[in-house]
Structure 1
Amino acid sequence: MSFFEYALIGFVVGILTTAPVGPVNIMAIQHAVHSGFRQGVFVGLGAVVADTIYAAAAIFGVSAVINFIKGQSGLIELVGGALLIIFGFKIWHTHPHLNNKGNGFERGFLGDATAAFFMAITNPGAILAFIFIFGSLGDWRPQHGDHVGALIMVAGVAAGATSWWVFISATVSHFRHAIDDKWLDRVNHIAGVLLIAFGLLLYANLALDAFG
Protein backbone atom coordinates (compact mmCIF):
# COMPACT_ATOMS: atom_id res chain seq x y z
CA MET A 1 0.00 0.00 0.00
CA SER A 2 1.07 3.57 -0.59
CA PHE A 3 1.94 6.11 2.12
CA PHE A 4 -1.14 8.09 1.10
CA GLU A 5 -3.36 5.07 1.79
CA TYR A 6 -1.72 4.54 5.19
CA ALA A 7 -2.31 8.21 6.03
CA LEU A 8 -5.94 8.00 4.87
CA ILE A 9 -6.63 4.87 6.94
CA GLY A 10 -5.00 6.51 9.97
CA PHE A 11 -7.12 9.61 9.37
CA VAL A 12 -10.33 7.56 9.40
CA VAL A 13 -9.22 5.65 12.52
CA GLY A 14 -8.44 8.97 14.23
CA ILE A 15 -11.97 10.21 13.58
CA LEU A 16 -13.63 6.92 14.57
CA THR A 17 -11.79 6.77 17.89
CA THR A 18 -12.40 10.46 18.67
CA ALA A 19 -15.99 11.07 17.54
CA PRO A 20 -17.88 8.97 20.13
CA VAL A 21 -19.21 11.38 22.74
CA GLY A 22 -17.36 10.78 25.99
CA PRO A 23 -15.96 12.98 28.77
CA VAL A 24 -13.47 14.85 26.56
CA ASN A 25 -16.09 15.52 23.87
CA ILE A 26 -18.47 16.82 26.52
CA MET A 27 -15.72 19.05 27.92
CA ALA A 28 -14.79 20.38 24.46
CA ILE A 29 -18.43 21.04 23.57
CA GLN A 30 -19.03 22.85 26.87
CA HIS A 31 -16.01 25.09 26.32
CA ALA A 32 -16.93 25.78 22.69
CA VAL A 33 -20.47 26.67 23.73
CA HIS A 34 -19.38 29.03 26.51
CA SER A 35 -15.98 30.34 25.34
CA GLY A 36 -15.86 29.85 21.58
CA PHE A 37 -13.96 27.93 18.91
CA ARG A 38 -10.37 28.21 20.19
CA GLN A 39 -11.20 26.97 23.67
CA GLY A 40 -12.91 23.88 22.27
CA VAL A 41 -9.94 23.12 20.00
CA PHE A 42 -7.44 23.46 22.86
CA VAL A 43 -9.39 20.93 24.90
CA GLY A 44 -9.30 18.53 21.96
CA LEU A 45 -5.57 18.97 21.34
CA GLY A 46 -4.84 17.63 24.81
CA ALA A 47 -6.72 14.46 23.91
CA VAL A 48 -4.94 14.30 20.51
CA VAL A 49 -1.58 14.01 22.28
CA ALA A 50 -2.86 11.11 24.38
CA ASP A 51 -4.46 9.38 21.37
CA THR A 52 -1.26 9.76 19.33
CA ILE A 53 0.77 8.11 22.10
CA TYR A 54 -1.71 5.24 22.30
CA ALA A 55 -1.90 4.89 18.51
CA ALA A 56 1.90 4.70 18.23
CA ALA A 57 2.12 2.13 21.03
CA ALA A 58 -0.66 0.07 19.46
CA ILE A 59 0.51 0.09 15.85
CA PHE A 60 4.16 -0.66 16.61
CA GLY A 61 3.23 -3.24 19.24
CA VAL A 62 0.56 -4.90 17.11
CA SER A 63 2.89 -5.02 14.11
CA ALA A 64 5.46 -6.95 16.16
CA VAL A 65 2.86 -9.31 17.62
CA ILE A 66 1.19 -10.01 14.29
CA ASN A 67 4.55 -10.70 12.70
CA PHE A 68 5.28 -13.20 15.49
CA ILE A 69 1.94 -15.01 15.17
CA LYS A 70 1.18 -14.72 11.47
CA GLY A 71 -0.85 -17.91 11.54
CA GLN A 72 -3.35 -16.28 13.90
CA SER A 73 -3.89 -13.07 11.90
CA GLY A 74 -7.23 -14.27 10.54
CA LEU A 75 -8.50 -14.99 14.05
CA ILE A 76 -7.35 -11.58 15.24
CA GLU A 77 -9.19 -9.89 12.39
CA LEU A 78 -12.28 -11.99 13.16
CA VAL A 79 -12.28 -11.03 16.84
CA GLY A 80 -11.36 -7.42 16.08
CA GLY A 81 -14.26 -7.07 13.66
CA ALA A 82 -16.68 -8.46 16.28
CA LEU A 83 -15.38 -6.04 18.91
CA LEU A 84 -15.77 -3.08 16.54
CA ILE A 85 -19.37 -4.07 15.89
CA ILE A 86 -20.06 -4.52 19.61
CA PHE A 87 -18.38 -1.20 20.36
CA GLY A 88 -20.47 0.44 17.66
CA PHE A 89 -23.71 -0.87 19.19
CA LYS A 90 -22.57 0.25 22.65
CA ILE A 91 -21.88 3.78 21.40
CA TRP A 92 -25.24 3.84 19.63
CA HIS A 93 -27.02 3.10 22.90
CA THR A 94 -24.95 5.56 24.99
CA HIS A 95 -26.83 8.73 25.90
CA PRO A 96 -24.44 11.52 26.98
CA HIS A 97 -25.67 14.63 28.76
CA LEU A 98 -24.44 18.18 28.41
CA ASN A 99 -24.17 19.57 31.94
CA ASN A 100 -23.41 23.27 32.07
CA LYS A 101 -22.42 23.30 35.74
CA GLY A 102 -18.90 23.09 37.14
CA ASN A 103 -17.05 23.48 33.85
CA GLY A 104 -13.92 25.04 35.33
CA PHE A 105 -13.41 27.51 32.46
CA GLU A 106 -10.99 29.52 34.60
CA ARG A 107 -8.14 27.08 33.92
CA GLY A 108 -7.27 28.70 30.58
CA PHE A 109 -6.11 27.11 27.33
CA LEU A 110 -3.12 25.18 28.73
CA GLY A 111 -5.07 23.99 31.75
CA ASP A 112 -7.94 22.78 29.57
CA ALA A 113 -5.60 20.89 27.24
CA THR A 114 -3.77 19.33 30.21
CA ALA A 115 -7.02 18.24 31.84
CA ALA A 116 -8.19 16.66 28.56
CA PHE A 117 -4.83 14.90 28.13
CA PHE A 118 -5.02 13.23 31.55
CA MET A 119 -8.68 12.42 31.00
CA ALA A 120 -7.81 10.63 27.75
CA ILE A 121 -4.52 9.00 28.79
CA THR A 122 -6.14 7.41 31.86
CA ASN A 123 -8.90 5.81 29.79
CA PRO A 124 -8.01 2.08 29.58
CA GLY A 125 -10.48 1.54 26.76
CA ALA A 126 -8.53 3.86 24.44
CA ILE A 127 -5.44 1.68 24.06
CA LEU A 128 -7.63 -1.42 23.69
CA ALA A 129 -9.64 0.29 20.95
CA PHE A 130 -6.48 1.14 19.00
CA ILE A 131 -5.04 -2.37 19.47
CA PHE A 132 -8.23 -4.02 18.22
CA ILE A 133 -8.62 -1.64 15.29
CA PHE A 134 -5.01 -1.88 14.12
CA GLY A 135 -4.96 -5.61 14.80
CA SER A 136 -8.00 -6.02 12.58
CA LEU A 137 -6.61 -4.12 9.61
CA GLY A 138 -4.64 -7.07 8.24
CA ASP A 139 -2.96 -6.11 4.96
CA TRP A 140 -4.21 -2.55 5.37
CA ARG A 141 -1.70 -2.07 8.20
CA PRO A 142 2.04 -1.43 7.67
CA GLN A 143 4.01 -4.65 7.93
CA HIS A 144 6.46 -5.30 10.73
CA GLY A 145 9.63 -3.30 10.06
CA ASP A 146 7.89 -0.67 7.94
CA HIS A 147 8.54 2.10 10.45
CA VAL A 148 7.93 4.89 7.95
CA GLY A 149 4.53 3.50 7.02
CA ALA A 150 3.65 3.07 10.71
CA LEU A 151 4.67 6.64 11.51
CA ILE A 152 2.61 7.94 8.59
CA MET A 153 -0.43 6.02 9.84
CA VAL A 154 0.09 7.41 13.35
CA ALA A 155 0.36 10.90 11.84
CA GLY A 156 -2.89 10.19 10.01
CA VAL A 157 -4.54 9.29 13.33
CA ALA A 158 -3.34 12.59 14.84
CA ALA A 159 -4.59 14.51 11.78
CA GLY A 160 -7.97 12.77 11.89
CA ALA A 161 -8.41 13.41 15.61
CA THR A 162 -7.35 17.06 15.23
CA SER A 163 -9.73 17.52 12.30
CA TRP A 164 -12.57 16.19 14.43
CA TRP A 165 -11.86 18.68 17.22
CA VAL A 166 -11.65 21.55 14.73
CA PHE A 167 -14.91 20.44 13.12
CA ILE A 168 -16.82 19.91 16.36
CA SER A 169 -15.55 23.16 17.92
CA ALA A 170 -16.42 25.18 14.80
CA THR A 171 -19.85 23.57 14.53
CA VAL A 172 -20.66 23.97 18.21
CA SER A 173 -19.46 27.57 18.43
CA HIS A 174 -21.52 28.45 15.35
CA PHE A 175 -24.68 26.64 16.49
CA ARG A 176 -24.10 27.01 20.22
CA HIS A 177 -27.73 27.90 20.94
CA ALA A 178 -29.02 24.71 19.29
CA ILE A 179 -26.76 22.16 21.05
CA ASP A 180 -28.61 19.77 23.35
CA ASP A 181 -28.61 16.12 24.44
CA LYS A 182 -30.46 15.05 21.27
CA TRP A 183 -27.65 16.52 19.18
CA LEU A 184 -25.10 14.50 21.19
CA ASP A 185 -27.18 11.37 20.62
CA ARG A 186 -27.04 11.95 16.85
CA VAL A 187 -23.23 12.20 16.99
CA ASN A 188 -23.04 8.87 18.83
CA HIS A 189 -25.46 7.26 16.39
CA ILE A 190 -23.31 8.31 13.43
CA ALA A 191 -20.09 7.13 15.12
CA GLY A 192 -21.74 3.83 16.08
CA VAL A 193 -22.91 3.18 12.52
CA LEU A 194 -19.43 3.92 11.14
CA LEU A 195 -17.77 1.52 13.60
CA ILE A 196 -20.30 -1.22 12.79
CA ALA A 197 -19.75 -0.63 9.07
CA PHE A 198 -15.98 -0.81 9.56
CA GLY A 199 -16.34 -4.14 11.38
CA LEU A 200 -18.58 -5.52 8.62
CA LEU A 201 -16.08 -4.35 6.02
CA LEU A 202 -13.38 -6.38 7.78
CA TYR A 203 -15.61 -9.46 7.61
CA ALA A 204 -16.25 -8.82 3.93
CA ASN A 205 -12.48 -8.65 3.37
CA LEU A 206 -11.99 -11.93 5.24
CA ALA A 207 -14.71 -13.56 3.15
CA LEU A 208 -13.09 -12.40 -0.08
CA ASP A 209 -9.75 -13.79 1.05
CA ALA A 210 -11.34 -17.11 2.02
CA PHE A 211 -13.43 -17.62 -1.10
CA GLY A 212 -11.50 -15.53 -3.60
Structure 2
Amino acid sequence: MTPANSWLLFFQSGLIGLSIAAPVGPIGLLTIQRTLDAGWRAGLATGMGAAVADTVYGAVGAFGATALIAWLVGAKTWLAVFGGLVLLRLAWSGWRQSAGDDARAVPAPVPSAWTCFATTFALTLSNPMTIVSFIAIFGAMSAQVAGGSPLVMVAGVFAGSALWWLVLSVAVGRLRHSFRPAWRRAINRASALLLAGFALWQWVGLLTPMLH
Protein backbone atom coordinates (compact mmCIF):
# COMPACT_ATOMS: atom_id res chain seq x y z
CA MET A 1 0.00 0.00 0.00
CA THR A 2 1.46 3.36 -1.05
CA PRO A 3 1.95 6.21 1.47
CA ALA A 4 -0.73 8.23 -0.32
CA ASN A 5 -3.24 5.40 0.04
CA SER A 6 -2.27 4.98 3.70
CA TRP A 7 -2.99 8.64 4.40
CA LEU A 8 -6.29 8.39 2.53
CA LEU A 9 -7.26 5.34 4.59
CA PHE A 10 -6.22 7.15 7.78
CA PHE A 11 -8.35 10.16 6.82
CA GLN A 12 -11.37 7.97 5.98
CA SER A 13 -11.04 6.11 9.27
CA GLY A 14 -10.71 9.42 11.10
CA LEU A 15 -13.98 10.56 9.59
CA ILE A 16 -15.59 7.34 10.83
CA GLY A 17 -14.31 7.95 14.35
CA LEU A 18 -15.48 11.55 14.19
CA SER A 19 -18.92 10.67 12.82
CA ILE A 20 -19.53 8.06 15.52
CA ALA A 21 -18.34 10.36 18.34
CA ALA A 22 -19.96 13.62 17.21
CA PRO A 23 -23.73 12.95 17.49
CA VAL A 24 -25.08 14.21 20.82
CA GLY A 25 -25.77 11.19 23.02
CA PRO A 26 -25.13 10.11 26.60
CA ILE A 27 -21.34 10.47 26.27
CA GLY A 28 -21.68 13.95 24.81
CA LEU A 29 -24.02 14.97 27.63
CA LEU A 30 -21.61 13.64 30.25
CA THR A 31 -18.70 15.45 28.62
CA ILE A 32 -20.56 18.76 28.60
CA GLN A 33 -21.84 18.31 32.14
CA ARG A 34 -18.45 17.40 33.61
CA THR A 35 -16.72 20.19 31.71
CA LEU A 36 -19.16 22.71 33.16
CA ASP A 37 -18.72 21.28 36.65
CA ALA A 38 -14.96 20.67 36.76
CA GLY A 39 -13.31 22.17 33.68
CA TRP A 40 -12.08 21.00 30.29
CA ARG A 41 -9.67 18.38 31.67
CA ALA A 42 -12.54 16.46 33.30
CA GLY A 43 -14.51 16.76 30.07
CA LEU A 44 -11.58 15.57 27.98
CA ALA A 45 -11.00 12.58 30.28
CA THR A 46 -14.69 11.71 29.86
CA GLY A 47 -14.48 11.89 26.08
CA MET A 48 -11.20 9.99 25.91
CA GLY A 49 -12.82 7.03 27.62
CA ALA A 50 -15.21 6.86 24.68
CA ALA A 51 -12.39 7.42 22.17
CA VAL A 52 -10.38 4.48 23.54
CA ALA A 53 -13.48 2.26 23.57
CA ASP A 54 -14.20 3.25 19.97
CA THR A 55 -10.62 2.30 19.14
CA VAL A 56 -11.03 -1.11 20.77
CA TYR A 57 -14.11 -1.85 18.67
CA GLY A 58 -12.40 -0.37 15.64
CA ALA A 59 -9.54 -2.84 16.14
CA VAL A 60 -12.00 -5.74 16.45
CA GLY A 61 -13.65 -4.73 13.18
CA ALA A 62 -10.43 -3.89 11.33
CA PHE A 63 -8.60 -7.10 12.25
CA GLY A 64 -11.70 -9.21 11.66
CA ALA A 65 -11.57 -11.07 14.98
CA THR A 66 -14.37 -13.46 14.04
CA ALA A 67 -14.69 -15.30 17.35
CA LEU A 68 -14.67 -12.09 19.39
CA ILE A 69 -17.17 -10.44 17.05
CA ALA A 70 -19.52 -13.42 17.42
CA TRP A 71 -19.20 -13.28 21.20
CA LEU A 72 -19.87 -9.53 21.32
CA VAL A 73 -22.94 -9.82 19.11
CA GLY A 74 -24.22 -12.68 21.23
CA ALA A 75 -23.62 -10.75 24.46
CA LYS A 76 -25.13 -7.46 23.29
CA THR A 77 -28.28 -7.98 25.39
CA TRP A 78 -26.34 -8.24 28.63
CA LEU A 79 -24.06 -5.41 27.56
CA ALA A 80 -27.10 -3.21 26.93
CA VAL A 81 -28.55 -4.08 30.35
CA PHE A 82 -25.25 -3.17 32.01
CA GLY A 83 -24.99 0.05 30.00
CA GLY A 84 -28.52 1.05 31.00
CA LEU A 85 -27.70 0.52 34.67
CA VAL A 86 -24.58 2.69 34.34
CA LEU A 87 -26.64 5.42 32.66
CA LEU A 88 -29.25 5.35 35.42
CA ARG A 89 -26.54 5.58 38.06
CA LEU A 90 -24.98 8.57 36.31
CA ALA A 91 -28.42 10.16 35.91
CA TRP A 92 -29.12 9.81 39.63
CA SER A 93 -25.72 11.25 40.51
CA GLY A 94 -26.26 14.21 38.18
CA TRP A 95 -29.73 14.87 39.59
CA ARG A 96 -28.39 14.92 43.16
CA GLN A 97 -25.59 17.26 42.13
CA SER A 98 -28.04 19.61 40.42
CA ALA A 99 -29.87 19.99 43.71
CA GLY A 100 -26.71 20.96 45.58
CA ASP A 101 -28.19 24.21 46.87
CA ASP A 102 -31.20 22.42 48.30
CA ALA A 103 -30.80 21.91 52.04
CA ARG A 104 -32.23 18.39 51.71
CA ALA A 105 -29.86 17.37 48.94
CA VAL A 106 -26.52 15.63 49.23
CA PRO A 107 -24.09 17.18 46.73
CA ALA A 108 -22.28 14.63 44.60
CA PRO A 109 -18.49 15.07 44.42
CA VAL A 110 -16.93 15.74 41.05
CA PRO A 111 -15.35 12.46 39.89
CA SER A 112 -11.61 12.15 39.31
CA ALA A 113 -10.16 12.13 35.80
CA TRP A 114 -9.68 8.36 36.04
CA THR A 115 -13.33 7.87 37.05
CA CYS A 116 -14.45 10.12 34.20
CA PHE A 117 -12.40 8.01 31.78
CA ALA A 118 -13.40 4.62 33.18
CA THR A 119 -17.14 5.25 33.27
CA THR A 120 -17.38 6.33 29.63
CA PHE A 121 -14.99 3.59 28.53
CA ALA A 122 -17.26 0.96 30.09
CA LEU A 123 -20.40 2.73 28.88
CA THR A 124 -19.22 2.92 25.28
CA LEU A 125 -18.08 -0.70 25.27
CA SER A 126 -21.53 -1.76 26.50
CA ASN A 127 -23.37 0.04 23.69
CA PRO A 128 -24.61 -2.60 21.20
CA MET A 129 -24.90 -0.02 18.42
CA THR A 130 -21.17 0.71 18.68
CA ILE A 131 -20.41 -2.95 18.15
CA VAL A 132 -22.67 -3.27 15.10
CA SER A 133 -21.50 0.02 13.58
CA PHE A 134 -17.79 -0.79 13.61
CA ILE A 135 -18.25 -4.36 12.43
CA ALA A 136 -20.36 -3.20 9.47
CA ILE A 137 -18.24 -0.19 8.51
CA PHE A 138 -14.83 -1.81 8.81
CA GLY A 139 -16.04 -4.98 7.17
CA ALA A 140 -17.06 -2.92 4.14
CA MET A 141 -13.82 -0.89 4.15
CA SER A 142 -11.64 -4.00 4.34
CA ALA A 143 -13.40 -5.38 1.27
CA GLN A 144 -12.94 -2.15 -0.68
CA VAL A 145 -9.35 -1.33 0.29
CA ALA A 146 -7.12 -4.17 -0.85
CA GLY A 147 -4.03 -4.48 1.33
CA GLY A 148 -5.21 -1.76 3.69
CA SER A 149 -3.42 -1.78 7.03
CA PRO A 150 -5.73 -2.44 10.00
CA LEU A 151 -3.34 -0.42 12.17
CA VAL A 152 -3.87 2.63 9.95
CA MET A 153 -7.65 2.25 10.26
CA VAL A 154 -7.49 1.88 14.05
CA ALA A 155 -5.18 4.90 14.39
CA GLY A 156 -7.54 6.95 12.23
CA VAL A 157 -10.56 6.04 14.34
CA PHE A 158 -8.77 7.06 17.52
CA ALA A 159 -7.56 10.35 16.01
CA GLY A 160 -11.01 11.30 14.74
CA SER A 161 -12.79 10.42 17.95
CA ALA A 162 -10.17 12.06 20.19
CA LEU A 163 -10.23 15.23 18.07
CA TRP A 164 -13.97 15.61 18.60
CA TRP A 165 -13.75 15.24 22.39
CA LEU A 166 -10.83 17.66 22.56
CA VAL A 167 -12.69 20.33 20.58
CA LEU A 168 -15.92 19.83 22.56
CA SER A 169 -14.32 19.92 26.01
CA VAL A 170 -12.13 22.94 25.24
CA ALA A 171 -15.02 24.87 23.66
CA VAL A 172 -17.38 24.21 26.58
CA GLY A 173 -14.55 24.87 29.05
CA ARG A 174 -14.04 28.34 27.63
CA LEU A 175 -17.72 29.11 28.15
CA ARG A 176 -18.22 27.48 31.56
CA HIS A 177 -17.66 30.67 33.57
CA SER A 178 -20.38 32.38 31.55
CA PHE A 179 -22.99 30.01 32.98
CA ARG A 180 -24.67 31.11 36.19
CA PRO A 181 -25.14 28.50 38.95
CA ALA A 182 -28.87 28.36 38.20
CA TRP A 183 -28.13 27.58 34.56
CA ARG A 184 -25.68 24.84 35.53
CA ARG A 185 -28.28 23.26 37.80
CA ALA A 186 -30.80 23.34 34.98
CA ILE A 187 -28.30 21.75 32.58
CA ASN A 188 -27.43 19.04 35.12
CA ARG A 189 -31.10 18.23 35.67
CA ALA A 190 -31.83 18.15 31.95
CA SER A 191 -28.78 15.92 31.40
CA ALA A 192 -29.90 13.58 34.17
CA LEU A 193 -33.35 13.21 32.63
CA LEU A 194 -31.89 12.62 29.17
CA LEU A 195 -29.43 10.02 30.49
CA ALA A 196 -32.28 8.19 32.18
CA GLY A 197 -34.24 8.43 28.93
CA PHE A 198 -31.32 6.92 26.98
CA ALA A 199 -31.20 4.02 29.45
CA LEU A 200 -34.93 3.33 29.12
CA TRP A 201 -34.81 3.67 25.34
CA GLN A 202 -31.95 1.16 25.22
CA TRP A 203 -33.95 -1.33 27.29
CA VAL A 204 -37.11 -0.80 25.24
CA GLY A 205 -35.03 -1.62 22.17
CA LEU A 206 -34.16 -4.95 23.75
CA LEU A 207 -37.76 -5.77 24.60
CA THR A 208 -39.27 -4.80 21.25
CA PRO A 209 -38.05 -7.89 19.30
CA MET A 210 -39.31 -10.15 22.09
CA LEU A 211 -42.83 -8.75 21.74
CA HIS A 212 -43.09 -9.61 18.03
Q: Same fold (TM over 0.5)?
A: yes
Instruction: Give the equivalent residue in structure 1 for 2:77.
Output: none
Question: What's the CA shift for 1:159?
Answer: 0.6
Deviations 1:16-71 (A, max 9, x none): 11111111111111011121111100011111121111000012218x8xxxxxxx
- Unaligned runs of at least 5 residues, structure 1: 65-96, 185-212
Within a 5 Å distance, the mapping from 1:1-212 to structure 2 comes to 2-61=5-64, 101-102=95-96, 105-137=109-141, 140-141=144-145, 143=147, 146=148, 149-176=149-176, 177=178
* Cα distance in structure 2, aligned partners of 1:105 and 1:48: 24
Question: What's the CA shift for 1:169?
Answer: 0.4
Structure 2 CA distance for partners of 1:139 and 1:122, relative to 1, 3 Å: closer
Question: What's the CA shift for 1:132?
Answer: 1.9
RMSD between aligned residues? 3.0
Q: Is the 8 A contact 1:43 1:112 kept in 2?
A: yes
Residue identity opposite 1:20 in structure 2? P
Q: How many pairs does the alignment contain?
A: 145
Structure 2 CA distance for partners of 1:135 and 1:116, relative to 1, 3 Å: same
Q: Secondary structure at the match of 2:110?
A: helix
Question: What's the CA shift for 1:102?
Answer: 4.0
* Cα distance in structure 2, aligned partners of 1:112 and 1:171: 18
Deviations 1:101-123 (A, max 9, x none): 34655321101111111111111
Q: Is the 8 A contact 1:6 1:153 kept in 2?
A: yes
* Cα distance in structure 1, aligned partners of 2:40 and 2:146: 35
Residue identity opposite 1:109 in structure 2? A
* Cα distance in structure 1, aligned partners of 2:117 and 2:49: 4
Q: Secondary structure at the match of 1:101?
A: helix
Identity %: 31
So what's the TM-score if we normalise by structure 1? 0.60
Runs of 4+ more than 6 Å apart: 178-181
Q: Secondary structure at the match of 1:40?
A: helix
- Unaligned runs of at least 5 residues, structure 2: 67-90, 98-107, 192-212
